[in-house]
Amino acid sequence: MLTAMCLSLSLAVTCVSPADLNNPHKKDIAMQLVSSAENSSLDWKAQYGYIEDIKDERGYTAGIIGFCSGTGDMLELVELYTRRKPSNVLAKYLPALRRVNGTDSHKGLGKPFVKDWKKAAADPVFQRAQDHERDRVYFDPAVRRAKKDGLRALGQFAYYDAMVMHGPGSDKLSFGGIRKAALAKAASPARGGDEVTYLNAFLDARKAAMKAEDAHDDTTRVDTMQRVFLRKGNLDLRPPLTWKVYGDKYTIKH
């Protein structure tokens, strides 16, 4: 439940609700926070061309949100790009992307695909396609669910970051399972619960899911980022923000 901030102006009183993650500035902050964990950089717009196999059994991980060749979201991205620009440099890899979907295989992809992904990243059409799929699959559903649960910007970010790493599924290691585990421990604000108590339960469930996967068992993005903001009571995710990920320190001043 959002708490109004009331500013007295002369005899009038104006109440303004804190911005949620849909606010362009807050959304940019969210992208910087994710990029610090995913790419060790606040410059998320430099990550359109990022691509590597991080050995998490999801094949290639690439782009601004970590689209994966083994989980279907990379395939859907390249399909969208091809609908918008049929002659693009990645279109020829669609048959291979369909074959490797659901596996960690590089068959039909490899070094040529990596090179062409980086080439495509300079294309504004591909950049806009990445933005679109990030919002459609991850950002919009996470923020929408968080707002229904009565969470402010920090909680909305916690949902978004979890959905980015674990996917939007319903099994116990996906976002849906993490949220279910949290709700078993604490009521969400929408159900009359305390927001801080619920977010601590959600972050506990998130850590448990991370530790269940070798590739994600470093939980600093929870311990020294999200939990830091929560302990400070910064539920509206207001800058300045200072945190650490994997030992590296970051600050967003404004």
**Active-site residue numbers?**
38, 56
Separation in Å, CA 26 to CA 30, 157, 174, 177, 212: 6, 9, 25, 26, 31
For 88, the token pair is 């693009």
